[in-house]
Structure 1
């Protein structure tokens, strides 16, 4: 059942990516140049919905959250590599798969780059685990735990901030 749920949610997400036009190369480049915030607005909207949905499911006892440990070295190193790849090919993993589904040939290069990157990661993992993965280890923490407050308070504040940012971007026609 889990693979079927994954397939259906993947198809729905791909459909939403396509409908929001975030698979388009000009939107990707516009986001990288901070000229077109369509992708940022799309991601913020999805983060807001997912944040509420996941915690609601947790409170209903339907899911159990198991956050990964916060490791600053791995996050910074991974973020730099992700950003470099996105800047070079103009796609992130989700949009590359969606663009490939639309028949865009340039997305093949992004997919090949991801395969090469995954292979490099697998081959260097022992070294990364002994070095980068030891830098800034904070364990399994969440913002509500760090602040010592109920998760719904943090969610409410973040929803207001995200909504304000979305409104600001819309007013600036970004």
Structure 2
């Protein structure tokens, strides 16, 4: 190889082909993330279109004056039940990993009822479900930022509490001190 070739090596492909191959390899390497992004955008759009990102619909649902949002939630539950049963029946493989979709039943945990109660109180107080917060932020509803901060603090508190309980023993021990 000459000194000129060492200073200015020739690429195997043209720059256009190199860009195309880079985009293809990027898409292949990040296909799960790209698919998740598009599914998240679609989910947010559908929630917004159904009114699930409107504070008034949440408040009216909890006041039992308008059950539109309850109908949306009920429809989502029915569709999810049908989808999960079909996934189990036909042993469907995951799009991203190619492995069979597995549904592992989680054991009951002490404190689940109290956590569900706190979840419901938070939902009623903020008039926003945690799943709708990113879509609300996407719509420009800045008040959803406070709900997001509360979600993050609550998640952090849960992690700290679980770590404490794991090192100390039981939930009852937490309340004795």
TM-score for both structures, normalised by structure 1:
0.68
Q: Does 1:109 align with 2:146?
A: yes
Could you tell me whether the CA contact under 8 Å between 1:99 and 1:107 is conserved in 2? Answer: yes
Q: Does 1:70 align with 2:108?
A: yes
Where do 1:130-169 residues align within 5 Å? 130-132=169-171
String of CA shifts for 1:97-144, please: whole Å, max 9, x gaps. 2111100111011011111111111111134554359xxxxxxxxxxx
Structure 1 or 2, whichever has the larger Rg, is 2
Deviates more, 1:22-31 or 1:84-93: 84-93
Gaps of 5+ in 2: 1-30, 93-100, 173-177
Distance 1:11 1:74, change over 3 A: farther
Q: Does 1:22 align with 2:52?
A: yes
Greater RCO (Cα-Cα under 8 Å, separation 6 or more): 1
Using the alignment, how far apart are the partners of 1:102 and 1:20 within structure 2? Answer: 14
CA RMSD in angstroms comes to 1.9
TM-score for both structures, normalised by structure 2:
0.67
Distance 1:69 1:4, change over 3 A: farther
Q: Does 1:88 align with 2:88?
A: no
Aligned residues: 132
Distance 1:128 1:84, change over 3 A: farther
The SS at the match of 2:60 is helix
